[in-house]
């Protein structure tokens, strides 16, 4: 039954794309109907996914389509059900946000809205089908459908050079990643008895071939997930896509890549080796730290959020790396804690990152600019967006009682069990990565203090911000719902962890040891004696503290009323936006400390007779400059030299054919 509902979700997304083609000349009706179908598909996906997760049952069907000797196999179990529910949840939120957000495109008519809605439906259907596919053939078709559809969404406003460049880089990285994934499945199929996942899971691989298959999958899925150093497409593509598409790409498309990696390693490959876990752990820690460091230096709001996706995917990979290490060394209960932490963070990141992108889209809709240094004072202009964005900031900073804290706390609890490994290299690596994760959390707090302070507090820095107002109701609804869910999944930590515990029980043979002794008030992943966390108690404590502070400090409790007046300006005249911190000034101390992490170009031009001094700062990604740009330069020069053989002379082309024929005859004979 669950799989049938999931198939209806796929059908609804395909119908939304069909509506975009049929009603292209009626854009308003087309947008409403397309997003209504997307919302219905999200409801169906959530229902089927949650049912499959809670029931822990497997449902499978073979469809009579595909190749004559290879039919499409759809499969729904607890793992795919969980990720299906996550994708469906964000799709529902986007269905409220999208119609109002793209109203401007309908009104100005500069870009065809039918194109946007058509590829949005294909994009969501591709993600659904990736999660449901149970054979390599249908998986790769769904994977490429997801990648190609999202390419057209990134390139939607193709009249801008940065959009075309970002779309090209994204498509190139997607093609390379797909090739690695295909080769990984090819290794499993070569040792198995077919292209179905069941046949691949029964394949007998030696250690060498298993490692080769793992590395191929790690690179292929890592390219789509955006882990360092494979992340360069992500900060280019997300800022230029429409905001609801950015939310879905960052919130759920990256998680589809995580799903593919978990399915490949835990289900199909099996026999996990601790060396694989060390690689995943180190890459995850490096991604988390570098992602937040790059985010701290950004002026573009959406680009900053994109780099934080790199950071949070690194946190997820830290959990997966810990799980693989403990599973390979014979500690399945601790491995289960780390795996649940990674899965929990997938859910949490989908919620608060989508919320932040929705909030960023609302701000950009009103300000018509991406530079945070031109914003300010929006908390009075857009109170609902400001409140929801604050919830997203607190959640992504992993502060209790919101959801981001629970998953990072579980990750730390797994890392603190490194003593069970009895020293050695693993006992040294895990504490170092845990320290890097703690540093990442501190830097994330600093980054979002900067973001919220510069964007929402202080005085407006531009005329557009002074004229800003709250976004329409549909865009508010999606933000409020996600904000409530961020708090809800933070409070329902025990129930969520219990539901997710069935996944490690299936793949590792054992779940979290302390989950049975946990109650709705307290979550104890290892045991009650080791550590526990009570989100409701934390919330009650915070509410009591705030209430007492309010009663003690509120002016109404004093004998004399406090006089409210203009703040003292230290004798410098009235306060102005020029006195406020900018993004560069706020992050300057951190930039000085971690200067080795970036390629910094800082220039100060002295004052001229017709203008004052000018300060410019440019922070570039070392990996992009030193790894990708040289390769691109070599390819470009090679292509230029190769193009010289195309002189347009027919006689030259005939000579090429003649000498090629002589060479082939010589080789064959």
The string of pLDDT tens digits covering residues 163-174 is 888 889 899 999
Q: Is the pLDDT of residue 557 over 60?
A: no
Q: Domain boundaries in the chain? A: 624-669
Distance CA 510, CA 327 (A): 10
Where helices occur in 403-553 by DSSP H, the ranges are 403-415, 424-456, 463-466, 473-491, 493-500, 502-507, 535-553
| pLDDT tens, position by position, 335-344 | 999 999 999 9
pLDDT at 70 over 80: no
What is the value of pTM for the model shown? 0.91
The whole-number average pLDDT for the span 24-52 is: 91
Residue 647 has what pLDDT? 64
Nearest alpha carbon to residue 111 among 239, 236, 241, 15: 241
- The pLDDT value given to residue 121: 93
The angle at the Cα of 434, spanning 431 to 435, to the nearest 5 degrees, equals 90
Phi, psi of 280 (to 5 degrees): -65, -40
More confident residue, 204 or 317: 317
Q: What's the pLDDT at 238?
A: 84
Give the residue-averaged pLDDT of 612-632.
76
- Residue 16 scores a pLDDT above 90: yes
Dihedral pair phi/psi, residue 508, rounded to 5°: -110, -10
Q: Which of 85-94, 100-109, 363-372 has the lowest mean pLDDT?
A: 100-109
Reading phi first (left if > 0) and then psi (alpha if -120 to 50, else beta), residue 203 is in: beta
Residue 648: the pLDDT is 67
Position 523 pLDDT exceeds 90:
no
pLDDT(389) > 90? yes
- d(CA 70, CA 624) in angstroms, rounded, equals 41
How far, in Å, CA of 352 to CA of 309, rounded? 11
E strand or H helix at 668? helix 650-668
Q: Given this model, what pLDDT does residue 555 score?
A: 58
- Whether the pLDDT of residue 556 is over 60: the answer is no
HSE-up of residue 23 (Cα within 13 Å, Cβ side): 16
- The confidence band for 626, taking pLDDT boundaries of 50, 70 and 90, is confident
Query: Comparing 196-205, 413-422, 467-476, 556-565, which segment has the lowest mean pLDDT?
Result: 556-565
Predicted pLDDT at 597: 74
The DSSP code for 26 is -
Task: Please give the residue that has the higher pLDDT: either 582 or 172.
Answer: 172
Give the C-alpha separation, 273 to 183, whole Å.
20
Angstrom distance (rounded) from CA 605 to CA 289 = 33
- In angstroms, rounded to a whole number, what is the distance separating the alpha carbons of residues 246 and 355? 11
pLDDT tops 70 at residue 431: yes
Q: Does an H or E element contain 258, and which?
A: helix 254-262
Question: Could you tell me if 62 and 72 are in contact, meaning their C-beta atoms sit under 8 angstroms apart?
Answer: yes
Mean pLDDT of 225-247: 88
HSE (side-chain half, CA atoms, 13 Å) at 534: 12
Gap between the Cα atoms of 337 and 323, Å rounded: 8
Query: Cis peptide leading into 140, omega within 30 of 0?
Result: no
d(CA 118, CA 14): 9
The model's confidence at residue 645, banded by pLDDT at 50, 70 and 90, is confident
Lowest mean pLDDT among 118-127, 207-216, 406-415, 578-587: 578-587
What confidence tens digit (pLDDT) does each residue in 254-308 have?
999 999 999 999 989 878 899 999 999 999 999 999 999 999 888 888 999 999 9
% of the chain surpassing 70 pLDDT: 94
| Region of poorest pLDDT, from 95-109, 181-195, 261-275 | 95-109
Task: Indicate the DSSP class of residue 300.
Answer: B
pLDDT band at 630 (very low <50, low <70, confident <90, very high): confident
Q: What is the distance between the alpha carbons of residues 457 and 453, in angstroms, rounded to a whole number?
A: 5
User: What is the C-alpha separation between 580 and 586, in angstroms, rounded?
Assistant: 10
pLDDT band for 561, please (50, 70, 90 cuts).
low
H/E segment holding residue 603: strand 598-605
Query: Which residue from 182, 427, 115, 404 is spatially nearest to 281, judged by alpha carbons?
Result: 427
Encode 242-275: b = buried (16+ Cβ within 10 Å), e = exposed: bbbbbbbbbbbbbbbbbbbbbbbbbbbbeebbbe
pLDDT at 49: 94
**Tokens 């992504």 -> residue:** 396
Residue 401, preceding peptide bond in cis (omega within 30° of 0): yes
| Weakest-pLDDT range from 198-212, 328-342, 422-436 | 422-436
pLDDT at 152: 92
Q: Are 383 and 363 in contact (CB under 8 A)?
A: no
Least confident of 107-116, 139-148, 603-612: 603-612
Q: Which of 15-24, 261-270, 464-473 has the weakest average pLDDT?
A: 464-473
Report pLDDT for 71.
Answer: 81
**Amino acid 374: pLDDT:** 84
Q: Which residue spans within 212-285 are E strands per DSSP?
A: none
Residue, of 388 and 419, whose pLDDT is higher: 388
The distance in angstroms from the start CA to the end CA of the chain is 62
Q: What are phi and psi of 23, to 5 degrees?
A: -105, 30
pLDDT at position 526 is 79
- Position 511 scores a pLDDT of 83
Tell me what pLDDT residue 558 has: 53
In this prediction, residue 444 carries a pLDDT of 93
Asked if residues 229 and 185 have their Cβ atoms less than 8 Å apart, the reply is no
* 65 pLDDT tier (thresholds 50, 70, 90): confident
Residue 77 has pLDDT above 70, yes or no: yes
**Mean pLDDT, range 506-512, rounded to an integer:** 87
Angle at 253 between CA 158 and CA 14, to 5 degrees: 75
Phi-psi domain of 228 (left: phi exceeds 0; alpha: psi -120 through 50; beta: other): beta
**pLDDT band of 485, cuts 50, 70, 90:** very high
């Amino acid at each position: 039954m669950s799989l049938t509902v999931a198939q209806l979700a796929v059908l609804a997304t395909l119908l939304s794309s069909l509506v975009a083609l049929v009603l292209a000349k009626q854009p308003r009706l087309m947008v409403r109907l397309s997003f209504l179908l997307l919302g219905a598909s999200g409801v169906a996906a959530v229902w089927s996914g949650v049912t499959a997760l809670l029931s822990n049952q497997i449902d499978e069907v073979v469809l009579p389509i595909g190749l004559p000797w290879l039919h499409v196999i759809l499969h729904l179990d607890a793992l795919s059900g969980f990720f299906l529910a996550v994708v469906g949840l964000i799709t529902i939120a986007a269905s409220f946000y999208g119609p109002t957000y793209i109203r401007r495109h309908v009104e100005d008519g500069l870009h065809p809205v039918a194109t946007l809605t058509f590829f949005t439906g294909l994009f969501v259907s591709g993600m659904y089908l990736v999660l449901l596919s149970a054979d390599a053939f249908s998986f790769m078709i769904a994977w490429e459908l997801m990648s190609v559809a999202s390419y057209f969404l990134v390139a939607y406003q193709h009249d801008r050079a940065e959009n075309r460049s970002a779309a090209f880089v994204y498509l190139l990285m997607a093609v390379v990643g797909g090739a690695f994934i295909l080769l990984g499945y090819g290794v499993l199929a070569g040792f198995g008895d077919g292209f179905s996942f069941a046949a691949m899971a029964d394949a007998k691989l030696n250690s060498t071939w298993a490692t080769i298959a793992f590395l191929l999958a790690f690179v292929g899925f890592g390219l789509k997930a955006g882990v360092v150093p494979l992340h360069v497409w992500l900060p280019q593509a997300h800022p230029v896509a429409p905001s609801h598409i950015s939310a879905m790409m960052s919130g759920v498309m990256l998680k589809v890549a995580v799903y593919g990696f978990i399915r490949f390693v835990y289900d199909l490959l099996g026999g996990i080796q601790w060396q694989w876990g060390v690689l995943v752990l180190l890459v995850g820690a490096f991604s988390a730290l570098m992602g937040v460091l790059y985010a701290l230096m950004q002026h573009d709001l959406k680009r900053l959020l994109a780099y934080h996706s790199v950071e949070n995917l690194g946190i997820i990979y830290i959990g997966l790396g810990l799980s693989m290490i403990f599973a390979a060394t014979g500690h399945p209960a601790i491995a289960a804690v780390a795996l649940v932490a990674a899965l929990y963070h997938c859910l949490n990141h989908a919620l608060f990152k989508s919320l932040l992108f929705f909030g960023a889209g609302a701000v950009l809709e009103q300000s018509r600019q991406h530079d945070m240094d031109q914003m300010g004072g929006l908390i009075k202009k857009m109170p609902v967006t400001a409140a929801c964005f604050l919830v997203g900031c607190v959640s992504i900073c992993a502060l209790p009682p919101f959801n981001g804290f629970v998953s990072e706390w579980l990750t730390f609890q797994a890392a603190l069990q490194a003593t069970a490994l009895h020293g050695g290299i693993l006992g040294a690596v895990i504490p170092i990565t845990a320290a890097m994760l703690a540093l990442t959390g501190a830097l994330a707090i600093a980054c979002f203090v900067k973001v919220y302070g510069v964007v929402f507090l202080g005085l407006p820095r531009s005329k557009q911000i002074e004229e800003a107002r709250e976004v329409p109701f549909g865009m508010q609804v999606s933000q409020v719902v996600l904000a409530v869910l961020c708090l809800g999944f933070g409070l329902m930590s025990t129930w969520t962890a219990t539901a997710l515990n069935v996944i490690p029980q299936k793949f590792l043979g054992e779940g979290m040891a302390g989950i049975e002794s946990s109650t709705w008030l307290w979550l104890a992943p290892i045991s009650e004696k080791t550590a526990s966390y009570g989100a409701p108690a934390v919330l009650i404590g915070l509410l009591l503290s705030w209430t007492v502070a309010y009663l003690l400090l509120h002016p109404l409790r004093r004998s004399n009323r406090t006089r409210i007046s203009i703040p003292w300006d230290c004798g410098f005249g009235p306060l102005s936006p020029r006195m406020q911190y900018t993004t560069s000034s706020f992050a300057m101390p951190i930039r000085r400390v971690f200067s080795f992490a970036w390629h910094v170009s800082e220039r100060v031009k002295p004052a001229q007779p017709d203008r004052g001094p000018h300060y410019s700062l440019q922070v570039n990604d070392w990996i992009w400059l030193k790894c990708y740009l040289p390769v691109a330069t070599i390819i470009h020069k090679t292509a230029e030299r190769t193009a010289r053989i195309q002189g347009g002379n027919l006689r030259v082309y005939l000579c090429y054919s003649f000498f090629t024929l002589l060479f082939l005859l010589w080789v064959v004979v």
